[in-house]
Amino acid sequence: MITFSNTVKRYSNGFEALKGVTLTIEKGEMVAITGHSGAGKSTLLKLAAGIEAASKGSVLVNNQNLAQLKETGLGVLRRNLGLVFQDHKLLFDRNAFENVALPLSITGFPRADVGKRVRAALDKVGLLDREKANPITLSGGEQQRLCIARAIVNRPAILIADEPTGHLDQEYGARILDLFKSFNQVGVTVLLSTHDELNLTRLNCRRIHLNLGKVAA
């Protein structure tokens, strides 16, 4: 479903974040990318989502080479991905419901069914009773869950989450990871990065360890 072949990412300042990564993530798999800060975890996820472009080598998602996709094609691809950001990227000028509804307005989802879809997503992350709340009034964990609700509202085949437990304590982080596990159990391919070793052991999924821009054996 996602294939990196000899992928190199060099930023314009000369820093090489990925130094030739080759890996394949199968359909329906749940994969955790681990490694120290600066190992290239975020860069790997950004390349998979088409937010950054590879400098060398290729990235294939759904058998499409991202380097060959035009602006519109990339947009269509991203609408079929669920992206969870470390800093949530929630909009504070609207309530929780409207935040989750944003992807539906981009895909042109029938307006009559928006309410049902949004509430289903909010229900999955346990925020159904907070739909009127402004995200700024939510706790860090609730904000992270709201971000996940927004990522799954379009029912994507692939979920990509950058450090979804980054700002959370151990217990809350475990609940978030369980949430991802439950999506994976219904067939969603999940790719996430984390350095939460303790919870990962419990999660029991495939792990890829990055070290200085390379896959460690």
Residue span 140-159 as binding mask against another protein, x where in contact by CB under 8 A, dash where not: ----------x---------
Among 33, 81, 192, 208, binds another protein (CB under 8 A): 81
Is 91 among the residues that bind another protein (CB under 8 A)?
A: yes
C-alpha span between 58 and 74 (Å, rounded): 15
Look-up of token digits 């964990």:
141
Among 32, 40, 45, 78, binds another protein (CB under 8 A): 78
Beta carbons within 8 Å of 22's beta carbon, 6+ residues apart: 4, 5, 6, 7, 57, 215
**Do residues 195 and 2 touch, judged by C-beta distance below 8 A?**
no
Look-up of token digits 């949530």:
88
Is 108 among the residues that bind another protein (CB under 8 A)?
A: yes
Is 216 among the residues that bind another protein (CB under 8 A)?
A: no
Among 24, 26, 67, 75, binds another protein (CB under 8 A): 75
Go through the chain and tell me how many residues it has.
217
For another protein, the binding residues (CB under 8 A) are: 50-53, 71-72, 74-81, 83, 85, 89, 91-93, 102-103, 105-108, 111, 150
